Structure 1
């Protein structure tokens, strides 16, 4: 672990640390001369102008984790601003698993392009990725380590937490999300896991154990997908139902690896930026498609009654929901492949981002939640292969 505190002394600490230990240098249960572990600041009372769960005082002066007058995380030096939303992610990795600099560039650009307003008048979120020297100069922020290879993290959450504890500076917990580029976990051949929604930790696991063919698109899409869970986003937007044709987001399994198709021929590796109307599977009007002009530059995918997957043209135009060769019906069919016929609602992801999951922000905003394991089960190699072979 290469991250070291920066010896910057603060003039005032009262807005950063809210415990008595911050001013007395003692922690309950320890003798006065016994060294105390650096506590996380709990629910800072400071102003957070940009709403990113990092208080203005931290982004202006730096973060002093234990109130000793020395900055432990120099946020201004790392590029943070109190008037522009910032996200920090430390990336540890197993041998051969770290994504490319080109992939990191794309992730950064995705967040920079986010339709999110800032107090400084700009749009977008500034995401700071730290993979250490191996990630290249632009992505070396003093952390990021290669960790011992383990082809099967089991149990996944406990093993990930153990690796995090051994390689992640405690003072960073209030600032950085933590992620691990790994191989496999719990013998699932799953693409990743975030363990809770929202959260401060996630893994991307498309390693050789399960013979994944890892592409830049898959790394970018899966990183953004798992970080999305950390930020409070789900597979179904408003719920956990997957494969919704009206949910145009990498959070949707349809689009995690290949992006959301555009009529221009490009693909969108990002969160949804608008929410089309709900689709009632008991009464689907084929002639109107997703029933909004906003979908005119998008394509979508849906499931046919026989289990195959289709790709539409412009999603505001006719869509053959029942796959009978025309787009004139009002039909009743399950278009997300779960056999039940329900109302499928969508979400504008970018308008529903939750900053401050888990320890990020000192626990001041969104804490970890207990999320049922089946709702965080991620796409496997076999599921993706089946999706590809049944798509036309």
Structure 2
């Protein structure tokens, strides 16, 4: 493990005490031998990112010994703008490029989320250790032994995390692993729970993935989205919805959401188009007036995928050559004709999944397996 804590020492209160003080509560004793101890009490969190103001101002003292274990302000955090921290461990050849990491950072910086300091966006802090330069070196980020098949995936990921991820970081950093494959699934990744504090991206050579920068960017943001409480269908886990304009949708995970400008959107949805009732689709209405700068994708009866023009205009949902019908069609090809609802993802982000965050105890949620099934290499090849 190569984590290098910064030895910033507080002469008075530990950050555990500072959190209690910020909440106006009594200071409880922290077990000094438990570096992962997280204070289980309310704390002031001005920006709502689940990282208490005291941590973002003074640093986080995990065990109450007066030594700062995670120097959040030294890493650029402040209490009046939302911060996200992700440690990235990686197997040989699997770590995304600096350009891909830059794009991930920019995607979160562009988030339509307001902050108390008057700015918009989220500061995401990615830690790859020394592998991607000083901008992405926050003292962690390790190359781990190569394993072409993590099996069972969650237990093996947790074992790698336990060996390579400093326990004092659990309250601050999400943990992710750039890996090869898991459970012989040829799947692109897994977050194991919604929300959560851990995820993997697995598009390695075992399943003959040909990985582009777009795929790394989209899949990282997709899996982190599950950590942040987002699902494949927005309002539910139903996939391939044409009105769900988000990288959480399999249609858009690898290529982004198409825009009329030609610049695809590698991000979460920032508005919710109207619901689509598959038994009564008004083709001339498309996705409504708010979708004028967007395109979308849908599935035809022959299971082929089509891409629209401007999504506020007519869309040939039943693929009969015109866009004037009131059609009945299974446009996400899930075997049923239902009402497809959607979501503004950015308005529904949930910070503090799993062990991340201060205050109340945060347990991992057991998520049904079908909600965590991810795009496989075979599905990707079929779609492309």
TM-score for both structures, normalised by structure 1: 0.94
Report how far residue 250 of structure 1 moved: 0.2
Kept in 2, the 8 Å contact 1:198–1:367? The answer is no
The residue that corresponds to 1:3 in the other structure is: 3
Alpha-carbon deviations, 1:181-211, whole Å to 9, x = none? 0000000000000000000000000000000
Q: Does 1:195 align with 2:192?
A: yes
Distance 1:4 1:54, change over 3 A: same
Q: Separation in 1 of the partners of 2:40 and 2:134? A: 33
Q: Where do 4+ consecutive residues of structure 1 move more than 4 Å?
A: none
Q: CA–CA distance in 1 between the matches of 2:150 and 2:66?
A: 39
CA RMSD of aligned residues (A): 1.3
The answer to whether the 8 A contact 2:43-2:359 is kept is: no
1:298 partner SS: coil
Q: Which runs of 5+ in 1 are unaligned?
A: 28-34
Matches within 5 A, 1:54-133: 54-133=51-130
1:333 is aligned, of 329, 332, 341, to 329
Displacement of 1:219 in angstroms is 0.1
SS of aligned partner of 2:34: coil
In structure 2, C-alpha distance between the alignment counterparts of 1:162 and 1:19, rounded to whole Å: 33
2:353 is equivalent to residue 357 of structure 1: yes
Structure 2 residue aligned with 1:259, among 256, 261, 271? 256
SS of corresponding position for 1:202: strand
Separation in 2, partners of 1:140, 1:365 = 29
Pick from 147, 152, 173 the counterpart of residue 149 of structure 2.
152
- Structure 2: which 5+ runs fail to align? 21-25
C-alpha displacement at 1:303, in angstroms? 0.7
Question: 2: CA distance between counterparts of 1:120 and 1:21?
Answer: 33
* CA-to-aligned-CA distance 1:97-151 (integer Å, 9 cap, x gap): 0000000000000000000000000000000000000122110000000000000
Q: Are 2:42 and 2:358, in contact at CA under 8 Å, matched by a contact in 1?
A: no
Distance across 2 between alignment mates of 1:335 and 1:186: 31
The reply on whether 1:287 has 2:284 as its aligned counterpart is yes
Deviations 1:220-276 (A, max 9, x none): 000000000000000000000000000000000000000000011110000000000
Aligned to 1:32: none
Deviation string 1:314-342 (CA, Å, 9 cap, x unpaired) is: 00000000000011100111100112011
Give 3-state SS (helix, strand or coil) of 1:77's partner. Answer: helix
Alignment of structure 1 residues 156-171 onto 2, 5 Å: 156-171=153-168
CA distance in 2, matches of 1:118, 1:367: 27
2:290 alignment partner, SS class:
helix
Structure-2-length-normalised TM-score: 0.96
Query: Residue 89 of structure 1 aligns to a residue in which SS?
Result: strand
Structure 1 pair 66–84 and aligned structure 2 pair: CA distance change class (3 A) = same
What's the counterpart of residue 319 of structure 2? 323
Q: Hey, what does 2:18 align to over in structure 1?
A: 15
The 3 A distance-change label for structure 1 pair 218 and 191 is same
Equivalences, count: 376
1:376 aligns with 2:372: yes
Tell me what 1:43 maps to: 40
SS in structure 2 at match of 1:21:
coil
Match of 1:30 in 2: none
Moved more, 171-180 or 370-379: 370-379
**In 1, distance between residues paired with 2:270 and 2:79?**
24
Aligned to 2:23: none
- Counterpart CA distance in 1 for 2:269 and 2:227 is 16
